[in-house]
Amino acid sequence: MPAGPDVSDRLFNHALGTRFEDLPAATIATTRRQILDYLGVAVAGIDAEGCRAVHQMVMAWGGAPTAQLIGYGEKVPAPMAALVNGATGRALELDDVHEQALTHSTVTMVPVALAVGATQGGLSGRDLITAVALGNDLAVRLAIAVRQPLGDGTASRTMSLTYQTATLAGSVVAAKVAGATKDLMADTFGSAYSQLAGNLQGLKEGTLGVRVQQGIASFAAVLAWELARRGISGGRQNLEGGAGWFNAFHGGRFNRPALLDGLGSMFRGDEISVKPYACCKYGHNAISAVAQATALPGFDASRVARIKATIYTQDMWDLLCEPLSVKAAPESFEGPAGVAMAQFSLPYMLAAAAARGTLTTAELTDEARRDPLVMDLMRRVEIINMNKTFSPQELPEPATVTLVLDDGTELSGASSRPIGNPENPMTDEQVVAKFGWCAERLPRTDVRSSSSVRCRWRRWTMCRISSPSPSRDAPGVGPVAWGGCFGPERSPAVPSGPSSVELAI
C-alpha cells in the first residue's frame, strides 16, 4: 500500500474543483463536437443488432421512470438508461476513440452524465460539457498510465482499457453531476472498481457483446453512484493499493507522471478521434489507403486480382485477422452477429472498401455482407504483418495497401492519420453532416414516435430530449436529411452555417 494518499485523491480534487469557466476554449469546442457526435451515433444505433433486445429487456424489468432512453422515448431507472444509451452509442462502431489510449470514452461519459442529471432534476449544457470533458480526460489519463507494449507477439493484449477506464472515469462523472462531496465521490469510485470488468475476447470473435459491454460500463458507473449515495462505502486505495487497479489488473505497470502531468491545464479528451468509418478504429488507416488507391476515375473493383495490405503489429493482427479461417470466411458474416464480425475483420474491411470506396453502415447491411463482389474480393486479400513493437503513443498504426488489377497494374495508397484524427480533424460542418448521415439510418415505421432529440449547435444547451410538438416536429428526419458517407478525399455536403440540427422520431 502506498505511504501517502492514493493518486485517486488528486483526481477527485481536480474533478470537484473544475468549473465550466476553467475549461480551455478549445476543450469546450471539442467536447461540444463529441457530445453531438455521440448523440448522432446513439440515435442511429437504436435499431442495431442486439440493441433492441437490450431495450426490450430493460422495458420488461420496469422501474421508476427517471431517465430517458435516447431515440426510444421511454423513461427508465437511471442505471438502465445508461445501459441502453451506452450500448446504442457503441453499436455501429461509429463512436469516437482515443487512439493512443485505446479507449472509447465519450460513449460512456454522455450516457452517465445524462442519466445522473435526470435524477437531479436536469442538467445544464455547461454542466454536461464540464462533466464530459472531465470524464474523457480522466479515462484517457488512466489508460495512458498503463504501460503496455503492442506487437512482437510476446504478450498478447487481453484486457480492454475501454470498459475499465469507462467505468472508473464514468463514476467520477456521476458523482460530479450529482454534486457529491469528496467522500461520496471516493465511495462511488470504490464501488465502480468493485464492478470492474472488460476483456478483448468479444472483439477478437466479433460478437454483439462488444456493444453491450459499453452499456455495462455505463450502467456500473451510475450504479456505483446509487450505492454510494445510499451509504455503501468504497475503498480508498483503488488505483495504487496492493489490490488496486494498476496492480491487480495490470501487474503494477504504471506510469504515475503520465496520469498527472498537465492535470487541469491539458484536457486529453481533446486528442480523441472522431470516426468516419463504422468499424474498429484499427482498420481506419487501411480503409483510407484503399480509398486513395481506388479514387481514380473509372476504377472497376471487379478487375482487382489481389489486395495486398501491410500492417505492423501483432495486436492489430490478433484483433482483426486471427484466425483468418474465420475472419475471411463468407459464412462468418451471416446472421445477426455477422455485422459485428464484419466490424472486426480486416479482410472484410479491405474488400468492402475496394468495392464501395468506404465502410459505413451501408456496407454492413445483410445485403452488403452477402454481396458476391465483396465476398470475391475478400478471397483475394493478402495481409503482411511486419510484427513490429509499438508503444501506444505511436498509434494510430499506419497501413499501406496495393491493389493489383487483372492486367498487372498496381494501385497503391497509404495512410497514417485518417480523417477524424486530431492531426487531420473533421470540421464542425463535417461532424454535423455525420449527425445527419446517422439520422438517415433511423427506422421510420416501428420505432416509438413519442420523443425527439434536439441538439443546439454552438449553444450551451447541448441536448434536450422531449415530446415533439405536432406543429413543429413533423414525422421524418426534417432538417437533418443531408449528408451521405465521406472518405479521406471527400468532404460531405452540408447546409451552410447551421445554428441547430434537429431530429424528430
Q: Are 495 and 478 in contact (CB under 8 A)?
A: no
Question: To the nearest whole percent, how much of the chain has pLDDT over 90?
Answer: 75
Q: Please say whether the dihedral angle defined by the alpha carbons of residues 432, 435, 437 and 443, taken in this order, is positive or negative.
A: negative
Mean pLDDT of 33-48: 94
Q: Are 483 and 147 in contact (CB under 8 A)?
A: no
* Whole-number Å distance between alpha carbons of 308 and 399: 11
**Which tens digits make up the pLDDT trace of 468-477?**
333 333 222 2
Q: Where are the alpha helices (DSSP H) in 229-344?
A: 245-248, 256-260, 284-293, 314-320, 324-327, 338-343
Q: What's the mean pLDDT when you consider all of the chain?
A: 87
Give the model's pLDDT for residue 69.
Answer: 96
pTM score: 0.88
**For 343-350, what is the mean pLDDT?**
97
SS3 state at 449: coil
pLDDT, residue 394, reads 79
For residue 33, is pLDDT > 70? yes
Q: Sheet containing 410-415: which strands, arranged edge to edge?
A: 381-385, 304-311, 399-405, 410-415
The model's confidence at residue 149, banded by pLDDT at 50, 70 and 90, is: low
The dihedral of CA 458, 459, 465, 471: what is its sign?
negative
Q: Please compute the mean of the pLDDT values over residues 13-38 and round it to a whole number.
A: 97
Length of the chain: 505
Helix (H, G, I), strand (E, B) or coil at 454: strand
Between 63 and 440, the more confident residue is 63
Nearest to 456, CA basis, from 474, 476, 479: 479
- Average the pLDDT over 312-339 and give the result: 93
More confident position, 18 or 432? 18
Of 184 and 3, the structure prediction assigns the larger pLDDT to 184
* pLDDT given for residue 495 in this prediction: 30
Q: How confident is the model at residue 2 (pLDDT cuts 50, 70, 90)?
A: low
- pLDDT-above-70 percentage for the chain: 85
Q: Give the dihedral of Cα atoms 70, 162, 350, 494; nearest 10 deg.
A: 40
- Angle at which helices 182-194 and 161-177 cross, to 10°: 150
Cell of 180: 457529491
In the chain, the N- to C-terminal Cα span, in Å, equals 53
Please state which CATH number belongs to domain 281-415: 3.30.1330.120
The confidence score (pLDDT) of residue 40 equals: 94
pLDDT for 490: 30
pLDDT for res 204? 86
**Residue 504 pLDDT > 60:** no
pLDDT greater than 90 at residue 444? no
Helix pair angle (106-119, 78-91), 10° resolution? 160
Indicate the domain borders of the chain.
8-271, 281-415, 428-504
Looking at residues 24-45, what average pLDDT do you find?
A: 96
Cα 194 from Cα 415, distance rounded (Å) = 41
Q: DSSP 3-state assignment of 281?
A: helix
b/e map of 333-372 (b: 16 or more CB within 10 Å)?
Answer: beeebbbbbbbbbbbbbbbbbbbbbbbbbbbbeeebbebe
Q: Any idea what the Cα angle at residue 169 is, between residues 64 and 239, rounded to 5°?
A: 125
Q: Are 359 and 369 in contact (CB under 8 A)?
A: no
Predicted confidence band of residue 157 (pLDDT cuts 50, 70, 90): confident
Give 3's pLDDT tier (boundaries 50, 70, 90). Answer: low
pLDDT of residue 155: 55
Q: How confident is the model at residue 500 (pLDDT cuts 50, 70, 90)?
A: very low
Residue-wise pLDDT tens digits, 107-146: 999 999 999 999 999 999 999 999 999 999 999 999 999 9
Residue 214 scores a pLDDT above 70: yes
pLDDT of residue 313: 87
pLDDT tens track for 249-291 = 999 989 999 999 999 999 999 999 999 999 999 999 999 999 9
Q: How many CB atoms lie within 10 A of CB 472?
A: 11
Q: Which residues contact residue 98 at a Cβ distance below 8 angstroms, ignoring those fewer than 6 apart?
A: 105, 136, 139, 140, 143, 268, 269, 271, 272, 273
For residue 286, CA distances in Å to 122, 276, 345, 398, 471 come to: 43, 13, 12, 8, 47
- CATH code of the region 8-271: 1.10.4100.10
Least confident range from 83-92, 150-159, 228-237, 487-496: namely 487-496
State the pLDDT confidence band at 442, using cuts at 50, 70 and 90.
low
Calpha distance 360→370 (Å, rounded): 15
pLDDT-derived band of residue 437, with 50, 70 and 90 as boundaries?
confident
Separation between Cα atoms, residue 25 and residue 7, nearest integer Å: 27
pLDDT band (50, 70, 90) for residue 448: very low
